[in-house]
Amino acid sequence: MEKQRPPLGVMGGMPIVGHFSKNWENVKRFQAEEGDLVIDTYPKSGTTWISQIVDLILHHGDLKKPHSKTIFERVPFLEFAVPDMPTGTELLNARKSPGLIKSHLPVHLLPNTFWEKNCKVIYVARNPKDVLVSYYHFYHMAVVHPEPGTFEEFLQKFIEGKVSYGLWADHVKGWWKMRHQRDVLYLFYEDMLEDPKREIRKVMKFLGKDLSDDIMEKIHQCTTFKAMKEDYLVNYSTIPTSVMDNTISPFMRKGTCGDWKNYFTVAQNEIFDDYYKREMSDTDLTFRF
């Protein structure tokens, strides 16, 4: 039995889940195919949500085909590696055709093969206060992470980039810059909540798909928070509890904007606002809280 909650490891200089760091050589060696589409996010920013939307769009809203497998089989997670489960690179190398790939890698660590093959990327960003709260709960339930400590301690680690995938600000800013240089669609979680159909339409356009309003409506209905929370193929309830324990905190937790207000004290909010101002002073990228 491998130890639960191993300390974070390092991947390309960035802290990452200890188990994942052991698969870095395979990630670096991975060869993309033309037509692969990367879904990239900083953790807890809406990866599963956008993955389900994209997969449904590509299957013209047909529930049967995409719904025969779990989201982590349909959209393999590039750098995923835990004991007793196939790694992301193993799943991807066994595929017969190009498809969807999930990654949380910051832009400078995404292997060059994706750019060489002109792969499209959909990036989703979320305001960092809600990311932090979601991540704090995720650290508790995804037991491949170290113990998160108190909320105060976790907040400090997040600000210092001492959590898996490192600094949030560098991640969102790095991909923001890349959106004009490559085929990158940059979306926001808060926009998806505000007007899901508008955002689904953006994705359809980016993918060159012109689907009917009926199909569009179906995709929307299948990707509401309620629908996804109840769907065992996307809610991570089937993943071994040695990786994620949904009884500690459900993966589909709240799915809202502004939950941070239930966690931050006034003092913590001031510290975080200072951090945010400092880190975001050199960019025109803004967030809604």
Binding marks (x or -) toward ligand PPS, 220..239, rule CB under 6 A?
Answer: ---xxx--x-----------
Among residues 6, 99, 161, 255, the one that binds ligand PPS under rule CB under 6 A:
255
Which amino acid makes up residue 287? F
Which residues are annotated as catalytic? 104
* Cα four-point dihedral sign 31, 121, 77, 132: positive
Q: Does 218 bind ligand PPS (CB under 6 A)?
A: no
Residue 126 or residue 173: which is nearer to ligand PPS going by CB?
Answer: 126
Q: Does 76 bind ligand PPS (CB under 6 A)?
A: no
Question: Cα–Cα distance between 25 and 64 in angstroms, integer?
Answer: 36
Write the DSSP string, 157-201: HHHHT-STT--HHHHHHHHHHHTTTTTEEEEEHHHHHH-HHHHHH
Both tokens of 204, joined, read: 């359809």
Q: At what angle do helices 168-178 and 128-141 cross, to 10 degrees?
A: 120
Q: Does 254 bind ligand PPS (CB under 6 A)?
A: yes
Smallest distance from the beta carbon of 223 to ligand PPS, in angstroms? Answer: 5
Residue 26 or residue 246: which is nearer to ligand PPS going by CB?
Answer: 246
Both tokens of 269, joined, read: 């909010």
| Nearest CA-CA partner of 57 in 77, 80, 73, 39 | 39
Smallest distance from the beta carbon of 259 to ligand PPS, in angstroms? Answer: 6
Smallest distance from the beta carbon of 224 to ligand PPS, in angstroms? Answer: 6
Q: Does 71 bind ligand PPS (CB under 6 A)?
A: no
Among the listed ranges 12-20, 58-66, 84-92, 218-226, the one in contact with ligand PPS (CB under 6 A) is 218-226
Cβ-proximal residue to ligand PPS, closest one: 255
Smallest distance from the beta carbon of 143 to ligand PPS, in angstroms? Answer: 13
Residue 55 or residue 130: which is nearer to ligand PPS going by CB?
Answer: 130
Neighbours of 32 (CB within 10 A): 22
Question: Cα–Cα distance between 125 and 74 in angstroms, integer?
Answer: 22
